[in-house]
Amino acid sequence: MGTQVLSSLPLQIMFLFNAWYYAAFFIAECLMYIYKAEILPYPRADLAQEIIVLLLLTGVEFFRQYLGKRGNLTERKVPVLISMLLGVACVICLLYFILWQTYVLRFEVIICGVQIAFIAVQILFSILAFISFARNESYS
Using the 8-state DSSP alphabet, how is residue 75 labeled? T
**Confidence at residue 92, expressed as pLDDT on a 0 to 100 scale:** 97
What would the pLDDT profile of 80-103 be if each residue is shown by its tens digit? 999 999 999 999 999 999 999 999
Domain range list for the chain: 16-37+44-134
In this prediction, residues 28-34 reach a mean pLDDT of: 96
Q: What percent of the chain has pLDDT over 70?
A: 96
What would the pLDDT profile of 96-129 be if each residue is shown by its tens digit? 999 999 999 999 999 999 999 999 999 999 999 9
Angle, helices 77-95 vs 106-135, to 10°: value is 160
Per-residue confidence band for 139, with pLDDT thresholds at 50, 70 and 90? low
Given a contact cutoff of 8 angstroms between Cβ atoms, the answer to whether 23 and 17 are in contact is no
Task: Considering only CA atoms, give the Rg of the chain.
Answer: 18
**Confidence at residue 2, expressed as pLDDT on a 0 to 100 scale:** 56
- Between CA 140 and CA 18 the distance in angstroms is 36
